[in-house]
Amino acid sequence: MNKAQFTAYALGQLSDAQRSKVEEHMDREETKQITQDAARLGALLRDARAAEPLPERAAALYAALDEHFAPPAPRKPWIHRFALPVALAASLLLNVVAMSYWLSLQHTHVAENKALLPPGEGGRRPDEGAAGATLLATHPHPSASLTPSPEGRGVDAAAGLPGSAGKFEMNPYAADKLVRDGGAIASAKPVETQALNAPALQVWNEGTIFESYRSALGIQGNETLNRNGSGTLSNPVLASSPLPSALWQTDDVQYFPPGQQFRLSREAAGKLVRSEGGDSRRGGIAVVAGTTMPAADSSPPVKQGLNTLTISGGNVYSGGITFSAPDIALDRLGRKPKVENFGYEAPLTQAPFNQPVVELRKANAKTLAAQGAGTAKQFPSLQTRTAGVAGEPQLTPAVSTPTAEGQMGRRQNTGGVFMDAFGAIVAPGIQTAVPPAAKPAIHPAPQPQPQLNTEAYDPIVENPFRRVADEPLSTFSIDVDTASYSNVRRFLMAGQLPPPGAVRIEELVNYFTYDYPPPSDGRPFSVAADVAACPWNEKHRLVRIGLKGREIDRDVRPASNLVFLVDVSGSMQPENKLPLVKKSLRMLVEQLTERDHVAMVVYAGSSGLVLPSTTGSERATLLGAIDCLESGGSTNGAAGLQLAYNTARDGFIKGGTNRVILCTDGDFNVGITSQDELVRLIETEAKSGVFLSALGFGMGNYKDSTLEKLADKGNGNYAYIDTEREARKVFVEQLSGTLVTIAKDVKIQIEFNPARVGAFRLLGYENRVLAHEDFNNDKKDAGEIGAGHSVTALYELVPIGDEAGLPGVDPLKYQPRPKAPAGGDDNHELLTVKLRYKEPEAEQSQLLEKPLVDDAKPLAQAPADFKFATAVTAFGMILRGSEHRGTATLATVAEWANNGKGADLQGYRAEFLDLVARAARLKKD
Amino acid sequence: MPHDRTGTKAAGTRQWVMALVAEYEQRLTRYAQRLTGDLHSARDVVQHAFLRLCDESPTTIERPGAWLYTVCHRRAIDVRRQAIRVLPLDTGDATSNGHASQPVYSRERDPRDAAELKDAGRALQRAVDLLPEAQRQVVNLWAEGFDYRDISQITGRGEAYIRVLMHRALTELRRHPIAQQLISDTALRNPTPRSPTPSP
């Protein structure tokens, strides 16, 4: 008796049958004690939890929900709609102008670097000096922050007087001191105050901005900070002061010894980051059009800084600076830094002294949001912020207020960073020590780092339009796989758009069954072709080629020899993997008869045969073995595959279905992980008559590319199973198709009539395209078709005369002109479909041909299935971002699909419509 | 898509969501806090769950309680995984109830704590917090009022495994002196096994 049963019994978690079983054992004192204790503990736990205090309700949640349910906002007046772009454009222009001006000044100052002050309009000199001091003071640059002792500050303050000595040593405290010791700097003070009190919008005035740049440059031009190579100040007093000033713990500016990492962050408006990253709070977009300047009356002028230029729209560019210094951990306010507000993280290495290039890493907003506070914890640091805190739901275009969070206001002084629209940071204060020869270059931000995702998709390069004059043939192998559709569905259901590489149009189209006439001439399948107008480009025609495999009655299905190869590695643990595999296999087992044989091989770090070949009628044994599957360990796919093939060969049924069914998430992380080696193994085995079907499960580290290749080479099919319903479709409704191959190496070649068709494009089948000469090469592997399967391929045709805009080669000089088609101009044939296939065990291929005549049908008269296939194709093109999608939008897709929905007995097409709606919602967000 | 939220259907959904918020928000927050160890992340997790709920409807979700816990559970695990390399920060004012300023599931044994914790429930929870992760999750969900089937759905583990985890957890808990004392205190009450508990 399993002891866990007693606990379950005590907690009332057993069915009646199980209860009575347990009760048989209840006469023993020990068992009684166990169950009694368990029952009491169980009750105690619940009582204790009920008595536990609950956290407060979160207002943010209600706000987010209110916003979610809010009726659509009325259209804003035009001025609001344009305010943002205009503000952005203006600020961009300003920055560019200011930058170029600044850069040119750089040059000038190279020449003038002996001068104490840059030439200015006489009376304004002290002004510039003071503003420069403010900039430097408010900018906690490592150099400026070299921890002055009180005496050092005194020296600084004295030296910091504009125009005093040749050296202009300055630090934030010097600036404080400057202002505080009013008498000593009487000349500087009024001007400084004036600068600080300037209304925010005045900063828009170019002159003011220039002034601020110039002030910074004033310092620069004076070679104020004279450093040695390691970036320490040459001033003996400063250089020798080992500790931060007495104020370092209380002031907002942090002082670090040189060598610490220096980071700049951009506050991003929460909306974008959160909603995209799936993170939850939905704040409004912070729109800050204007410049932020702390209001002079909110705190003493000393605390102010002409420093924060906030240009934003959705994203707040700001002078928020984060210093990383692991040894000075601290949020001294005891606040948890909210790093999710920072869309940018810009590590400035300690080299800013001699490295003029300030590179900004444009962190992927998603990743950052997801990491959330994590980043902050990683770099315990002081966060300086500006207003426009992303959590605030709405900031209308306005000058933002600096003190979003009380005391935080002080921290804003540390900004002093300008960021241009390319995401590069221009920090005047930082570049004070740029060697005169080095011209600061501004690099655009590097590409965002991709979000960590280990799902693998091969990129798809779409088939281009081909001119019939250059190439009248199109050859490809059929593909009956449907995995891409279920995978796309999984993404959309999870509220995400699928990566373009995951969208294979032919697999989307073939997911649905179409009503083609079944074969009547003894062939394994029938071929149908029709043509109608192309809905996304009215000049074009759309050709549909449909294959329908012979149906095989379940009762006359040939005997099967199946080997389940189940991945039981640790990655298979989630509910949508191994447990779903078990459910799927149970469904399959229900369909088997005594003629079928089933074996089961599991693989993880090692592999083993858990069920030797057993007939399908021994259902209990089979189900028992399936129930025993447990996950754990790493994945050695190849060893298991070899064992499965050996097992299948041992029980080979001649004339029957011999198949290995691989159930995995595709992550082979031990042993042979090279696709080539796996593929070689599978190809060899496929020749011996054992085919391979791949069933993909799960997500996160799903390897779509591996599985598709394996099934393709193994003469099998590939399905992605995301739900029980999908498992039912594959294993119950379409079982014979899954198990019984009625024809293999099916290739299609289309010859176009150059008198009718100008150019053509095959929609989908990108990785199935064959060389034209391989069509008649029976050694060349191609797709298989199962019983009852239907295969659909669509071509978009450009009628003759309209192909002018398409890329092609120049008319050929020596080649014969395209001859009139065989039937002369009277030949109305658009194209001829040629098909080659082999019977499942044959080596010789057979040929089928079927011409198609264009009857100039509009789409409205096309069969419903045609319309539906069109809609699915267009959907695929949109998800993939195809350039050929023409006028197709998700709305038109929904309309076409609705027209072509037909009876839809199983509800698959209704589900497609739901997916289209979901995709539309996601695209809009 | 705002425009299809108008009308009676949206109003119905809203009512449904708000009722569930009223019922579950605090409990979910507490649960998520146990998993993430910090109230801020817990609130984010809960908000995520409710916003996802807005895209569903009463017809698509049979047992919204279990569904919400499932979403929260997975989200919280994700959040914690992402924060795994992160140094703990003192959350100070971050928690509304004073005792939770450190991770709820601190695994340090401190005998003085046990002496100080007079409240029986808290003492028991303290013992639960010492359990291995998997067992702790199961016990916490049990304490929230879920049965094995729901716990299996929420944690994504098989029901048989839940059964084993719960058994191991209770066996371990029973060894704890606090639990022993509590059990003997309540021994006077009726100890018969409960009938299957309805899920909340």
CB contact at 8 A, A368 and A272? no
CB atoms within 10 A of CB A164: 12
Name the most confidently modeled range: A13-22, A159-168, A506-515, B6-15: A506-515
Q: Quick one: three-class SS letters along A601-647?
A: EEECCCEEEEEEEEECCCHHHHHHHHHCCCCCCCCCHHHHHHHHHHH
A650-703 per-position pLDDT tens digit:
888 887 888 888 888 766 554 455 667 777 888 888 888 888 888 888 765 566
Q: Is A420 left (phi over 0), alpha (psi -120 to 50) or beta?
A: beta
Which has more confidence, A134 or A94?
A94
For residue A57, give both structure tokens: 């309700």
Q: Which residue of B has its CA nearest to A375?
A: B86
- Lowest mean pLDDT segment, chosen from A196-205, A475-484, A915-924: A196-205
User: Distance between CA atoms of A15 and A19, rounded to whole angstroms?
Assistant: 6
Q: Which residues of B touch A377 (CB under 8 A)?
A: 83, 86-89
- Supply the ipTM of this predicted assembly: 0.75
What residue of B is the nearest CA neighbor of A38? B170
- Cβ–Cβ contact B36 with A under 8 A: no
Answer yes or no: is pLDDT of A476 > 70.
yes
Expressed in percent and rounded to 5, the helix, strand and coil fractions of chain B are 70, 0, 30
pLDDT digits (tens, 9 = 90+) for A507-550: 899 888 888 888 888 888 888 899 999 999 888 899 999 988 88
Is the Cβ of B61 closer than 8 Å to some Cβ of chain A? no
Task: Kindly identify which residue of chain B lies nearest to residue A6, measuring between CA atoms.
Answer: B167
Q: Which tens digits make up the pLDDT trace of A255-290? A: 444 443 433 334 443 434 444 443 333 333 333 333
A616-628 pLDDT, tens digit each: 888 888 888 888 8
Name which of A9, A33, A41 to mutate to probe chain B: the one with the most chain B Cβ atoms within 10 A of its Cβ: A41
Q: What is the pLDDT of residues A228-264, one digit of tens each?
A: 444 334 444 444 444 444 444 444 444 444 443 433 3
Helix (H) or strand (E) holding A546: strand A541-549
* Mean pLDDT value of segment A99-116: 66
Distance between CA atoms of B170 and A34, rounded to whole angstroms?
10
pLDDT interval class at A74 (50, 70, 90): low
Token pair belonging to A702: 């799903």
Burial string for A702-715 (b: 16+ CB within 10 Å, else e) reads bbbbbbbbbbbbbb
Q: How many CB atoms lie within 10 A of CB A823?
A: 12
Amino acid sitting at position A123: G
Higher pLDDT, A340 or A556: A556
For A822, residues 6+ apart whose C-beta sits below 8 A from its C-beta are: none
Distances (CA, A) of A283 to A85, A271, A389, A886, B86: 20, 5, 10, 35, 26
Under an 8 A CB cutoff, do B14 and A55 touch?
A: no
pLDDT digits over B129-188, tens only?
888 888 888 998 998 888 888 898 888 888 888 888 998 898 888 888 777 777 777 665
Asked if A61 lies within 8 A of B97 by C-beta distance, the reply is no
Tokens of B35: 């998993």
Q: What is the model's pLDDT at position A25? A: 77
Q: Which of B18, B86, B91, B131 to mutate to test the interface with A (most CBs of A within 10 A)?
A: B86
The per-residue pLDDT for range A696-750, each reduced to its tens digit, is 887 655 666 777 777 778 777 788 888 888 888 888 777 777 777 788 888 999 9
Contact present, A276 and A369 (Cβ < 8 Å)? yes
The per-residue pLDDT for A874 is 93
Q: What amino acid is encoded at A759 in this protein?
A: A
Please answer yes or no on whether A40 and B183 come within 8 Å at the CB atom: yes
Q: Dihedral of the CA atoms A871, A873, A874, A878 (nearest 10)?
A: 130
E strand residue ranges, chain B: none
The closest CB to that of B85, out of A47, A334, A378, belongs to A378
pLDDT band at A327 (very low <50, low <70, confident <90, very high): very low
**Strand residue runs (E) in A229-271:** 262-267
pLDDT at A469: 82
Does residue A10 register a pLDDT over 70?
yes
**Which of A 276-295 lie inside 8 A of B, CB atoms?**
278-282
Q: Tell me chain B's radius of gyration from C-alpha atoms.
A: 19
Identity of the residue in A65, A335, A373 whose CB atom sits nearest the CB atom of B17: A65
Which of A157, A345, A352, A139 minimizes the C-alpha distance to A258? A352
Give dist(CA A922, CA A916) in Å, integer: 10
pLDDT of res. A674: 64
Distance of alpha carbon A596 from alpha carbon A285, whole angstroms: 62
Q: Which residue has the higher pLDDT, B136 or A226?
A: B136
What pLDDT is stored for residue B7 in this prediction? 56
Please choose, from the candidates B103, B108, B172, B178, the residue with its C-alpha nearest in 3D space to the C-alpha of residue B136. Answer: B172
CA distance B113 to B178: 12
Q: How confident is the model at residue A877 (pLDDT cuts 50, 70, 90)?
A: very high
Q: If you measure CA to CA, which chain A residue comes closest to B9? A: A69
H or E stretch covering A217? helix A206-221
Q: Please, are residues A788 and A745 in contact by the beta-carbon 8 Å criterion? A: no
Q: Are A388 and A403 in contact (CB under 8 A)?
A: no
Residues 6+ apart with CB under 8 A from A549: A519, A524, A525, A737, A742, A743, A785, A786, A787, A788, A789, A790, A791
Q: Give the pLDDT score at A738.
A: 75
Reduced to 3 states (helix: H, G, I; strand: E, B; else coil), residue B57 is coil
Count of pairs with CB atoms under 8 A, one residue in A, one in B: 215
* Secondary structure, 3-state, A650-693: HCCCCCCEEEEEEEECCCCCCCCCCHHHHHHHHHHHHHCCCEEE
Tokens of A459: 């990129």
Inter-chain residue contact B142 with A46, CB threshold 8 Å: yes
Backbone angles phi, psi at A80, to 5 degrees: -70, -35
Residue A454's pLDDT is what?
59
CA atoms within 13 Å, Cβ hemisphere of A392: 20
* Phi, psi for residue A564 in degrees, rounded to 5: -80, 130
Contact (CB<8Å) B26/A3: no
Residues of A in contact with B10 (CB under 8 A): 69
**More reliable by pLDDT, A542 or A325:** A542
- Residue B153 tokens read as 């759905």
B200 to chain A, closest Cα gap in Å: 12
Put simply, whether A275 touches B (Cβ < 8 Å) is no
Rounded Cα gap, residues A320 and A331, in angstroms: 15
pLDDT higher than 90, residue A225? no
* Overall average pLDDT of the A900-908 stretch: 81
Tell me how close the Cα of B28 comes to any Cα of chain A, in angstroms. 9
pLDDT tens string B80-116:
777 655 444 444 343 334 343 344 444 444 545 444 4
Taking CA atoms, A145 is separated from A381, A385, A394, A676, A863, in Å, by: 15, 19, 36, 58, 76
The rounded Cα B107 to chain-centroid distance in angstroms is 17
- Does the pLDDT at position A197 exceed 70? no
Give the closest-approach CA distance of B124 to chain A in angstroms.
7
* DSSP state string for A283-302: PPPB--BS-----TTSS-GG
Helix, strand, or coil (residue B115): helix
Chain A interface includes B139 (CB < 8 A):
yes
- Fill in the DSSP letter of residue A524: S
Q: d(Cα A159, Cα A177) in Å, to the nearest integer?
A: 12
User: Does residue B54 surpass a pLDDT of 90?
Assistant: no
Q: For strand A381-383 and strand A691-697, is the pairing parallel, antiparallel, or unpaired?
A: unpaired
pTM: 0.43
Report the DSSP beta bridge partners of residue A720.
A696
